[in-house]
Structure 1
Amino acid sequence: AGSIILLINFAVLSPDGFIAKILFLGKIFPNLAEAQAIFAPVLQGSTNIMAILITFLVARNLAIFFQQDDLLCGLTAIGSFFIIYTPYLVVDNQAYMTTKFLGAQGLFVALIVGIITGEVFSRLARAPKLTIKMPAQVPPAVSRSFKVLIPVIIVMILFSVLNYLITLIAPEGLHDLVYKVIQSPLKDMGTNIFSVLLLGIISNLLWVLGIHGPNTIAAIRDTIFTEPNLANLNYVAEHGSAWGAPYPT
């Protein structure tokens, strides 16, 4: 949705946009550019919070695979994501949370949290001794929450302990550690022509062997290129042009 809105904003609603120039929309609607402000906030609810969405979806789909409560598993994953999120910054007795790792830069941690939560939650929820059974007269929604209450608590405690241990070696938290150690080097790999050529060669070799090349390397490709692509997308959103984008390759 964010990409489509961005396309509309700068191809249709911008006086310098490709479609706007073809249809002379700038002359027909003199205040055309002002309409961009209507759709610009869509990015705040799409690409800028991608890490939260990925956390929920990964955990939810794992719960579906294990035939457990997918909604509560996904919500537990979001809670876990914020347990290990970058520490709040306190200024004048006010706590501020950075949004830096809510988007593309938080994807690695989002995947890690989603996988761990989905696996641990689902396996604990299957244990009869950890299931709280409510009387039949209790409303289904309440009974549903209590049924997996112990797995939720265990997952939350697990991430709290993990967060404490991580802050001992990385005061800025897991997001900053993972970004510097793993995600940033992978991003650098994806922003040069050699990585593109290498992935293309591997993909075609897999086709020769009868294996669907693009699908096979999709996980690696998406991991490497997602952040640079979103960085370029945000650059276009801010500047109205792809000229000078940080990752032109």
Structure 2
Amino acid sequence: MSKQELFDKFVDLMGRFAEIKEVAALRDGFIFTTPFTIAGSLFLLLANLPIPGYTDFMTSILGQGWAAPLNQVAGSTFDVLAIIVVLGMTYKYVDAEGCDAISAAVLSVSALFIVMKSSVIGPSGEEVTGVIPKLWAGSNGVITAILVSIIVSRIFCYCEKNKITIKMPPQVPGGVQRAFAALIPAVIIFATFAVIYTLCNWIANMTFPEIVFKILQTPLQSLSDTIGGGIIITALQSILFWAGIHGPNIVGGVMNPVLLANAIDNQHLLDAGLSLVGNEQAKIITIQFTDVFIKSGGCGMTLGFLIAAFLKAKSSQMKSISKLAFIPGLFNINEPIIFGLPIVFNPYLLFPFIVVPVIAMIITYFAIAIGFMAPLSAIQVPWTTPPILAGLLLDGWQGAVIQIINLLMATIVYLPFVKLQDNVYLKEEQE
């Protein structure tokens, strides 16, 4: 089998993977969390602006506890992430199947609560019952939420499609019909998760989220936080996008829940009064790490390509497409250059499109590992935030410096390939 045939098979495999119902629901459902996490991040950012003396200044004006309302908003978004995920993912899955999505989404929340602990241990060691523990409703319960969503969606769609429902006369209003149609699926779903809850407690003396966290989520988070894991995540996004498949959506759909959990774990360390710099418990690779520091200008760090084109391009085609793509590129939108130049299936640009973000990942990783930058917390900025400003908001001047270094590196690496592509276009224009 030739290299081209092997590559074609790989691209076809990833295309089929992206079409799996559960993967599509995970991708679309996790996008559903975006307004919650970014809005929560804005309040968290206001409470923790990376400006020397900011906290003391605000305290002198507003007094002690000035940040409590801001942290309350952040805690009410990030700490219920698993609930948002199970709602969004179930809704997207069931809606794509043409079934009653809202009923299924509500049932999935109840199913998540069934397998979750309903008690916490108080400060003095007493057990407080009748609560929803944020420990498992937040980042620690994300993988559990994904599994619950898949099980609920499959059961609900099977029941609805096979008419395992209570049928009402046509004279009954539609809302009442839908409510009763969800009754039998609800009983089956609740019974299923009651059995799961009982078995987990009987066999392991733990709840389902605790078992999933121990067996699946902790190893996934640890694997994603290695330099090898970072290289695979980064390179795979670029390879797929070069092949015409939206790599960030596919890879991000699978990995973003884990990377977001890494970021929230870091935030918990900060909330406990611990420093992230030099802390072995802190995670280096988080969702902001991949979204901000290895995607300046978009996947492949194509802003470096555009800067190189402004410096060296002579062909009319290269000049015009670079001018057209530059403003969107400043806001990390690079479809004009991906499909307009194009970069997709362009043999001249495959190497830098993969290598540039990988090098940026390595630079950023070691900048955090040696303590120049602090590991990133739960603070997020909108993905359209321009480079340098995004780094400044997330990690102070150090974050801005690393983004500048990454952009300079991207420009230098892209430069010879831009000249090569430009020569091709120039020759075509002259002919």
TM-score by length of 2: 0.50
Q: Deviations 1:213-239 (Å, cap 9, x if unpaired)? A: 323322333143121111123444554
The one of 34, 38, 46 equivalent to 2:77 is: 46
Cα deviation, 1:58-78, whole Å, max 9, x if unaligned, reads 111122112222111111001
Distance in 1, matches of 2:58 and 2:257, equals 43
1:127 is displaced (CA, Å) by 2.6
Mark the CA change 1:210 to 1:144 in structure 2 (over 3 Å): closer, same or farther.
closer
Partner of 1:111: 146
Distance 2:139 2:44 in 1: 17
Q: Distance in 2 between matches of 1:159 and 1:56?
A: 16
Structure-2 change in CA distance of 1:234 and 1:28 (3 Å): closer
Which deviations, in whole Å up to 9, do the C-alpha atoms of 1:180-230 show, x marking residues without a partner?
111101111122222112322333333454443323322333143121111
Give me the identity figure in percent: 21
Q: Tell me which stretches of 4 or more aligned residues in structure 1 moved more than 6 Å.
A: 90-93
Counterpart amino acid of 1:3?
Answer: S
Decide whether the 8 Å contact of 2:159 with 2:185 is kept in 1: yes
Select which of 20, 43, 46 maps to 1:5. 43
Q: Which residue of 1 aligns with 2:112?
A: 81
- Aligned residue for 2:284? 248
| 8 Å contact kept, 1:15–1:32 | no
SS at 2:66's partner residue? helix
**What is aligned with 2:370?**
none
Within 5 Å, give how 1:145-164 maps onto structure 2.
145-164=179-198
Q: Whole-Å Cα distance in 1 between the matches of residues 253 and 186 of structure 2?
A: 29
Amino acid at match of 2:136: F
User: 1:169, CA displacement in angstroms?
Assistant: 2.1
Pair 1:134–1:237, CA change in 2 (3 A): farther
Deviating more after overlay: 1-10 vs 88-97: 88-97
2:238 and 2:128 mapped to 1: Cα distance?
54
Q: Aligned equivalents of 2:209 and 2:150: distance in 1?
A: 16
Note the C-alpha offset of 1:6: 0.6
The CA deviation at 1:96 is 5.2
Counting matched residue pairs gives 241
Unmatched runs of 5 consecutive residues or more in structure 2 = 1-38, 286-431
Is 1:16 aligned with 2:53?
yes
In the alignment, which residue of structure 1 is the partner of 2:419? none
Superposition map of 1:188-227 within 5 A? 188-227=222-261
| RMSD (Å) for aligned C-alpha atoms | 3.1
* Change in CA separation of 1:126 and 1:34 when aligned onto 2, cut-off 3 Å: same
Counterpart in 2 of 1:233? 267
Query: Structure 1: 5+ residue runs without aligned partners?
Result: none
From the superposition, tell whether residues 6 and 243 of structure 1 become closer, same or farther in structure 2 (CA, over 3 Å): farther
Relative to structure 1, the CA distance from residue 26 to residue 140 in structure 2 (aligned partners, 3 Å threshold; closer, same or farther) is same
Which deviates more, 141-150 or 233-242? 233-242
> 2:61 aligns to what SS in structure 1?
coil
Could you tell me whether the CA contact under 8 Å between 1:132 and 1:148 is conserved in 2? no
Is the Cα contact below 8 Å between 1:26 and 1:32 reproduced in 2? no
Residues 104-162 of structure 1, C-alpha deviations (whole Å, 9 max, x = no match): 010011001111111211220223352331462x5543333112211111111121122
